[in-house]
Structure 1
Amino acid sequence: MAKVMANSPALVKGWLALSGALSGGVLPAPVRERLAIATAEYNNCTYCLSAHTYIGAHVAKVDAEELERARHAESTDPHAAALLALSGAIARGRGHIDETQLKTARAAGVTDAEIAEVVGNLALNILTNYFNVLADTDNEWPVVTPHTHG
């Protein structure tokens, strides 16, 4: 991906800056990887789904069942589930969500900082999803194909 993205040094710089900043935020790597998986599944991005499933398993140490649940924006961890549900609602609503969705997230303990970073991670993941779908980036990861969406 970076090789293809390097056609625009400005894009690479922006992607790296946002990715680096969010990696130092309040959301831990296992949550960020699940958010990335849910977004890649939603956007039908095989490259990102493959990459984040691999990174989720081997780097963030998320178990296989949780990785599969993330594809459906679900988790057995109530806090992670609330973050995934919020991210999914924001994506589907293109930024507009029902007030009850926000209240539900807050009731699950989601903080203002986490809400902000969910939006940041969603933006980062949409960037890479759209880029890789459009560029038809060669997939060097073990392939994970998005589920069929109806």
Structure 2
Amino acid sequence: MARIAIPTIEEAPAKSLPILRNYVQVLGLVPNFFAMISQSPDALKAIADMHATLGKSLGHKTRERIHIMTAEVNGCSYCLTAHTFLGGKLQGLAADDMELNRDGHSTDPQADAALQFAYKIAKSRGHIEAADVEEVRAAGFTDQQIIDIVAETAFSFITNIFNNTFATERDSAFPPLSVRKAA
């Protein structure tokens, strides 16, 4: 059971309603995470804005892969289920690829390089070697994309912390997954 109430859209603060309605339009539902944080319209807006703004240079598929990997690293089952749902439904990612994503890999060679780098960042909390940056650069990523990989990984940490702290309940539309290990 969640440690903070998950309001319905009707119970949410008026300032949160435009963002919540957008999720209904795009996803057909308001995920429990967004419903929960809607109690703080400022937190909801900040997270929605970050989600809409970050990582565009990476493409949506790679972004979802990074979120799946980071959820596994941080032991966040809610984010794992949410991003597996989004990766499959909105991005057409295959189940076998998303399974590899959990451990920082992908069936797509370019995405694999990004995920290996993001995995090192997540596991070490950013304490990487210069060679790690050079390796992802050699795989064809620009400095902008490398910054976006770090930003997307850091953003995932924010949502993982919220969902781990408040034990957010999995949405019924999401697959019943659990992380295999915690960091």
| Alignment TM-score, normalising by the size of structure 2 | 0.77
Structure 1: give runs of 5+ residues left out of the alignment. Answer: none
Shift of 1:119: 1.5
Q: In the aligned structure 1, how far is the partner of 2:125 from the partner of 2:179?
A: 21
Maintained 8 Å contact 2:118/2:149:
yes
Q: CA deviation at 1:76?
A: 2.3
Q: Give the counterpart letter for 2:170 in structure 1.
A: N
Cα deviation for residue 89 of structure 1 reads 1.2
- Which amino acid in structure 2 is aligned with residue 145 of structure 1? S
Bigger RCO (CA 8 Å, 6+ sep): 1
Cα root mean square deviation, aligned: 1.4
User: Do the aligned residues in 2 keep the contact of 1:46 with 1:143 (CA within 8 Å)?
Assistant: no
Q: Does residue 115 of the first structure (1) align with residue 149 of the second (2)? A: no
Provide the residue aligned with 2:47 in structure 1.
15
Displacement after TM superposition at 1:4 (Å): 1.1
Partner of 1:83: 114
1:147 aligns with 2:180: yes
Q: Which has the larger radius of gyration?
A: 2
What CA distance in whole angstroms lies between the structure 1 residues aligned with 2:41 and 2:126? Answer: 28
Q: Which amino acid aligns with 2:51?
A: S
TM-score (norm 1): 0.93
Runs of 5+ consecutive residues of structure 2 not aligned to the other structure:
1-32
1:148 Cα shift? 3.1
Query: CA separation in 2, counterparts of 1:143 and 1:126?
Result: 21
Structure 1 CA distance for aligned equivalents of residues 40 and 95 of structure 2: 35
User: 1:22 Cα deviation (Å)?
Assistant: 1.9
Give aligned-pair identity as a percent: 35
Query: Could you tell me which residue of structure 1 aligns to residue 27 of structure 2?
Result: none
**Counterpart AA for 1:124:** F
Relative to structure 2, which stretch is displaced further, 91-100 or 30-39? 91-100
Aligned positions of 1:27-42 closer than 5 A: 27-42=58-73
Judge conservation of contact 1:35–1:70 (CA < 8 Å) in 2: yes
Q: Deviations over 1:106-131 (max 9, x none)?
A: 11111111111111111211111110
Give 1:7 deviation, angstroms: 2.4
